Structure formats: C-alpha cells, structure tokens
Amino acid sequence: MSNPPENMTRRRLLMAAPLAGAAIVGVGFWKMLSGMQHGSFNPHDINAPVLNRPVPDFSVPDQAPGQGFSAQDLRALTQPVLVNFFASWCIPCLAEMPTLMGLKDDLTMWGIAYKDRPENAAGFLKHSGNPFTRLGSDRDGRVGIDWGISGVPETFLIGPGGIIRWHSAAPLDVDTIRGTLVPLLESLKKS
C-alpha cells in the first residue's frame, strides 16, 4: 500500500505464473502428441529397453536349409537389416505381408517364424510371397522372449554392428515406412 508500483508488478507476476505453467504443459502435450503422430513416440511401446543395444544372444535354427541365423550373423552386418517375427497363425502378419513384399527390393529382411511349425510357416510364405532372404524358426518362443516381443508381428531394424535401432510392435504400414523407417535408414547411412 505504501508503494503501489511494486505491488502492481507483484500482482502481474502472480497473474503470469499460471499462464506460464499452462503454456509449458501445452508445449509438452503438443510435443507428445506430434511424436505419437509421427511415430517417434509410442506410449504403448513396452520393450523400449532393447533399443540402441546390440541384439541379444540367440540362434534360430534353419527353417529351410542354410537359412538359420544367430546373433553373430547380425553383429557382423555392415548394412541395415529388418528382422521380422511372424507366424502363419497370425492374421495381422498376413495383412502385413504385401507391405513387406513391397519393401524387399530396398531393404534386406530376415524372418523368424514364431511358435510355428516349419511346414505351416513354409506354406504361409508360399501363399503370401517370401520377402525374407534368411529364415529362422523359433518353435518354442524362447528367442522371442530374449528379444522382448509380446506377440507377432514385431519388427526390429538392426543397424550395422548388430545394434537394434528401431522397433515396432504393430504391423508395418506405408505411413510408418515413409514417416519413420526411411528417415532412420537415411540417418544410418550418413553416420
């Protein structure tokens, strides 16, 4: 009361505090939602811990002769490879296959048949087309657990040196490939 100008600035500051708070929250939400839209942020992604780590120790036996692979094969890579867990009993995998077939000329893909009989997996690939250059079989699902998958299809992008660069627990679609996968591959190529 004794000095009104000081009182006024204090009052203004107090008025601005909630506005500033709301602005910060707004920017946070906007970043989160735009991340969700572009696929860079996924709150449902439950196995983020494998990201930017080397592939786990594993070995999948041949689904067809000479096609099985192991962690050593992935760690020896100099080019990125897409590893896809699929199963003949999985409807989303069937729906995903045309997308993978469209991608196979541009990106090497290795497949792991998850909890599937070899003859069923072979029949599935015969029917839908085979985008995979190597094919392993995870009959009891133990390799899947080491990779942290919770279902099929799940896809991992393995960068040079066998580092897991990206993961998707949903079937791949054209939007994800254009919006996330292609920019990621370009940045991997640069570095």
Partner 1 sequence: MMLRRLSALFLGCALLLAPVLVLAVDDPSEMLPNPQEEARAEAIGSQLRCLVCQNESIEDSSAGLARDLRRVVREHVAKGESNRQIMDWMVNRYGNFIRLSPPLSIGTLLLWSMPALALLLGLTTAFFAYRRRNAAPAAPPPLTAEEKARLADLTKD
Q: Which residues bind partner 1 (CB under 8 A)?
A: 46-50, 56, 115, 140-142, 145-148, 150-151
Nearest residue (CB) to partner 1, 18 versus 49: 49
Reported as half-sphere exposure (CB side, CA atoms, 13 A), residue 113 has a value of: 26
Nearest residue (CB) to partner 1, 21 versus 98: 21
What's the one-letter identity of residue 104?
K
Q: For the residues of 138-169, what is the DSSP string, one character each? A: ETTSHHHHHHT--SSSEEEEEETTTEEEEEES
Nearest residue (CB) to partner 1, 37 versus 150: 150
Nearest residue (CB) to partner 1, 131 versus 171: 171
Both tokens assigned to 163: 């580092």
Distance CA 6, CA 12 (A): 10
Minimum CB separation of residue 180 from partner 1 in Å reads 20
Minimum CB separation of residue 113 from partner 1 in Å reads 15
Minimum CB separation of residue 19 from partner 1 in Å reads 18
> Which single residue is written with the structure tokens 């708070």?
21
Nearest residue (CB) to partner 1, 52 versus 150: 150
Contact 146, 49 (CB under 8 A): no
Minimum CB separation of residue 74 from partner 1 in Å reads 17
Edge-to-edge strand ranges of the sheet holding 134-138: 134-138, 108-114, 81-86, 154-159, 163-168
Minimum CB separation of residue 60 from partner 1 in Å reads 16
